A and B are shown apart, each in its own frame.
Chain A
């Protein structure tokens, strides 16, 4: 198992001393976090521990008060994510889903995916108005791509249905596929198993592995469902009160007294 100091070129994301203060509340306190390329890493912790805040820092919705966030789109290239706008961060390869599903409800499933292809398309205003051959070809290529993506992940049947009319499990899945359509290097999933039953959670487990292997990307997960966390993760970070209190492979985390204390309280 990979523990201890990682080789730099294996990293895809590394934060150093990330803190964020809202008024008097320290939501994140000196978070050091590393993520290996093509790995599945999980962030767990009690409610209010700062997991989603950390996600929001990574994706540019919040700007950390201090600290650095380094992102390696390729092993040789380093980009700082501090101060970049959310759409820019998506464009350079970090895609996310949301804790409470945020689909484009009144658009069709296929359109949801097409929107995610936005940054890979070029057509501007004139292209839209004149529909020249280049624009038409691009539209068609993207529709084909979107459909093939839906087909791969079992949503092709509902391609023309409005997103809000999908069953809950499919909505979760669509949100993940939509994130995939932005062609991310890192996929950030915020509580993907929330509201799913046992069987659906098991499917999700397989689904996350499938995505990782097929799309060759790294997955960062926030999750409360321990069975999913323990089975799918390669590395687990535990947060409490805005701090990282433990990190390591799942089997070590399970035995860590600090983690047990955080979850079950003091004896």
Chain B
């Protein structure tokens, strides 16, 4: 009976979705038209004007405009449709039906409130399908794509880590890249000097970053908002300058020849690769070490998602949320502010450290210019653009922000301009981020009533 309750309330919601969408079809079309006009206007110089290098004149390519308009219109409609569907099937919007315990008869001393996790059964299926798809990727794409995807996965990890600090706990951190650098340098140095392997350095890198997170946490406990942002910014720069100027880090020339992660000492490229290539299961130029890193990152992202989700809905995570919402009230609820801030900082840094180790093993050569302030801004943009405090949001944000510049390469010189423009547009039209965070819903499951 208890399970039926939640199911019953979901079906009618699904049925009425399409009809409700078509009922508001004219509105949808209107909204899509407005979006299309905006898009055409904003991309006009990019789409229709081209400087002819030979004649030094501007060519007007008006015939491109309708094509762009149609694509924009259809894309907007699909986007709106998907968004509406998402929010419709989403627990948040069916709250009135599912949250209120069924009227009086279901209440009673026997009832119990349990958490309703967003991962409903069909969603689990989607997740498994998506995972199966992701696992096959290295077997049919080029080495270049694998490299980009590894970067995307690293940024997802970084985004989710920073999300704990910025999105969940509300502590603006502009020096997050410092912890990333510390993870990377921990592995690089230990591997370089002592020949320690990736698998030993992974926890060590995380531990070093966590420790530094704690150390940075101590002086900033009394700060919040802008002041906190400036101190963390300074910290990020200090770390970068130390890495640039210290002898043991080899200064600006960086550290090269970092070993890729091993798999029980097997030389993957020599043993497994010919076999796979002969079966046409792999691109002939693929470096299997990169494929291994891809799988490591995939696993790490999955673990990160699970960890962050669990943290967010735990006693500790709620303390962080309370800290973000209202520091004074948070203390008045018996929460130790110091402890909450420190743990948020330290745990957020852990993921940067982990990602740093993988990053070092991926590019095999690191120097301080990999860890500039721009990187911090990039990671922060992922969190803000994706949706503060929202796990799916941060994932989408990371994918968009790392893949977009790659796929915009076709636009050559306009690449970064277009990238900036898209960011501005996204913030104007969706200030809450691509996928806004929603709270966990608790559903009342009445126990079986003995009465007839």
Contact = CB atoms under 8 A, between A and B. Distances in A.
Contacts of B318: 107, 111, 114-115, 118
Contact of A143 (B95, B115, B326, B329): B115
B317 interface: yes
B314 interface: yes
A214 interface: no
B38 to A, nearest CB: 29
A151 B315 contact: no
Nearest to B109: A148
Contacts of B335: 87, 115, 118-119
Contacts, number: 138
Contacts of A144: 112-113
Contacts of B319: 115, 118
B245 interface: no
Interface in A126-162: 127-129, 131, 135, 139-140, 143-144, 146-147, 151, 156-157, 159-162
Interface stretch (B99-107, B227-235, B278-286): B99-107
A166 interface: no
Give the interface SS of chain A, mostly helix, strand, loop or mixed: helix
A108 interface: yes
A104 interface: yes
A125 B441 contact: no
A95 B307 contact: no
A68 interface: no
B336 A129 contact: no
A124 B326 contact: no
A104 B337 contact: no
A121 interface: yes
B325 interface: yes
Given A107-B321, A115-B319, A59 B332 contact: yes
Contact of A159 (B99, B315, B326, B334): B99
B310 interface: yes
B367 to A, nearest CB: 34
B334 A91 contact: yes
Interface residues of B, number: 39
A86 interface: yes
A143 B313 CA distance: 12
Contacts of A116: 333-334
A160 B441 contact: yes
Contacts of A115: 318-319, 321-322, 330, 333, 335
B41 interface: no
A246 interface: no
A199 to B, nearest CB: 24
A107 B329 CA distance: 13
Contacts of A87: 331-337
**Of B307, B335, B441, most A-chain CB atoms within 10 Å:** B335
A118 B315 contact: yes
Given A108-B439, A143-B113, A160-B442, A103 B316 contact: no
Contacts of B381: none
B328 interface: yes
A131 B310 CA distance: 8
A128 B100 contact: no
A19 interface: no
Interface string A177-203: 011001000000000000000000000
A241 interface: no
Contact of B326 (A102, A125, A139): A102
A21 interface: no
Nearest to A102: B329
Given A107-B325, A143-B114, A86 B343 contact: no
Given A107-B325, A116-B333, A125 B347 contact: yes
B135 interface: no
9 contacts: A86-B332, A98-B329, A108-B439, A115-B318, A129-B311, A139-B115, A147-B442, A159-B113, A182-B333
Nearest 7 Cβ contacts at the A-B interface: A128-B314, A160-B99, A119-B334, A90-B334, A104-B325, A102-B329, A86-B331
